[in-house]
Structure 1
Amino acid sequence: MTERLDRIAEFLLQLDALKSVDRRTYINGGERLENSAEHSWHLAMACWAFAEQSQEDFDLSKLLRLALLHDLGEIGAGDTFLYSDQRSDAHLEERRYIGELASHPGNPIGDLPELWDEQEAGESREARLLKVIDRLLPFLHNLASQGRAWKDHGIRKSQVLRMHGFIEQENPEVYRWLRSKVDYAVAQGWLENA
């Protein structure tokens, strides 16, 4: 019993490392950068809220599990900025770490790799909603901080629209709202109009 609990405790401390992965998104109001654990919690809550008001029938348990684990690979790979040139390969190092985490002797989550792969592929209804909300939250943070991260990195309107373009097909209502906010951000000088 004690040995089993020791292994689970080690696994839980391994998960705790997600708190040490800083993102390039400022928390509400722009006081500091958020970490990936905070983002994962916020993502889970936001997915829950969207699922509750949606007309679609989501498997809420699966949706929350996908949200909570979607950034675990960043413990081993670090966070890759949305607008980074290395973004297309980031999942490879993240998946390698998920395999390592799954094989931890204290891991009680048997389907960890399969769930991570599902959220990465973005094909299930739950994974598609997750992808929309995962893009929406940093966008909201940029609005709340007057575009601080966008300005820090010289992000342009065209980059934001390209990285959020898939939302138009997944959720046209959210996309229309987002487009209006992009135009507002340009008018405020938070995004370059290019």
Structure 2
Amino acid sequence: MQTDNLLKQVNFIKEIDKLKYIQRKTRLFNSDRHENDAEHSWHLAMMTIVLAEHSDKPIDVLKVLKMVLIHDIVEIDAGDTFIYDSQKNHTNTAEELIAAKRIFGLLPTEQAEEFIAIWQEFEDGITDEAKFAKSMDRFEPLLQNTSNNGGTWKEFNVPYQKVYEKKSAIKKGSSSIWEYAKKLLNESVNKGILLKETS
């Protein structure tokens, strides 16, 4: 049984290497190179450790780490949907659930069930851990775009109001990080790298 579990776990570990090939729209800080999903997940994990004290509620940091490390694994099958995509809904969870069951299903049953549950908890965004994990997920690309002269906001002509709406999820996990994020958004408008729609 131990050997059987190990073989399944190694197969899963090999499969998730594909995450390194999933390109995101966002670029690395001060760079032209696109970030991949594995780099994104690693960065969110580090941010969770460093910024955990700013969570509005007490959180299980290990659980948040699990969430941010596995939340995008489904994109191996489902692909990355750009958050500002107007053609495809960013919350395409039906397609992603099929991916979650296939990929996490490579693991021994107990681990597979745990990973699917953690992924689903992140998607639902109801628990304090999920709220903070989502805060990190929204905060990282904001930092990237401000470092890249507007980045994807400028590239895809995303207006301030749309960015503000998407980023407001940050406040559900951390009011202090949200205050800082709003300041960055306003500075971006003042610099002309994030445009406000005029009526």
TM-score normalised by structure 2 residue count: 0.88
| Distance (Å, rounded) in 2 between the aligned partners of 1:32 and 1:116 | 28
SS in 2 for 1:25: strand
Letter in 1 for 2:63: K
> Partner of 2:80 in structure 1?
79
Q: Decide which of 103, 114, 131 is 2:117's aligned counterpart.
A: 114
> Partner of 1:11 in structure 2?
12
Structure 1 position 162 matched with structure 2 position 146: no
> Partner of 1:138 in structure 2?
141
> Partner of 1:63 in structure 2?
64
2:12 and 2:104 in contact (8 A); partners too: no
Q: Which moves more between the two structures, 95-104 or 130-139?
A: 95-104
> Following TM superposition, by how much is the alpha carbon of 1:64 offset from its aligned partner in structure 2, in angstroms?
0.8
| Distance (Å, rounded) in 2 between the aligned partners of 1:6 and 1:167 | 39
SS in 2 for 1:104: coil
2:132 and 2:172 in contact (8 A); partners too: no
**Structure 2, unaligned runs of 5 or more:** none
> Following TM superposition, by how much is the alpha carbon of 1:6 offset from its aligned partner in structure 2, in angstroms?
4.1
Question: Does the C-alpha gap of structure 1 residues 118 and 97 become closer, same or farther in structure 2, counting only changes over 3 Å?
Answer: same
1:135 and 1:164 in contact (8 A); partners too: yes
Alpha-carbon deviations, 1:40-77, whole Å to 9, x = none? 01111111212145574221211111111111111111
**Structure 1 runs of 4+ off > 6 angstroms?**
none
> Following TM superposition, by how much is the alpha carbon of 1:120 offset from its aligned partner in structure 2, in angstroms?
0.6
TM-score normalised by structure 1 residue count: 0.90
Q: How many residues align?
A: 194
2:56 and 2:173 in contact (8 A); partners too: no
> Partner of 1:95 in structure 2?
97
| Distance (Å, rounded) in 1 between the aligned partners of 2:43 and 2:59 | 18
Identical aligned residues as a percent: 30
| Distance (Å, rounded) in 2 between the aligned partners of 1:56 and 1:179 | 20
| Distance (Å, rounded) in 2 between the aligned partners of 1:189 and 1:61 | 39
What is the alpha-carbon root mean square deviation over aligned residues? 2.0
Alignment of 1:18-29 (within 5 A): 18-29=19-30
Alpha-carbon deviations, 1:6-65, whole Å to 9, x = none? 443322111111111100111011230000110001111111212145574221211111
**Structure 1, unaligned runs of 5 or more:** none
Letter in 2 for 1:96: I
Letter in 2 for 1:17: K
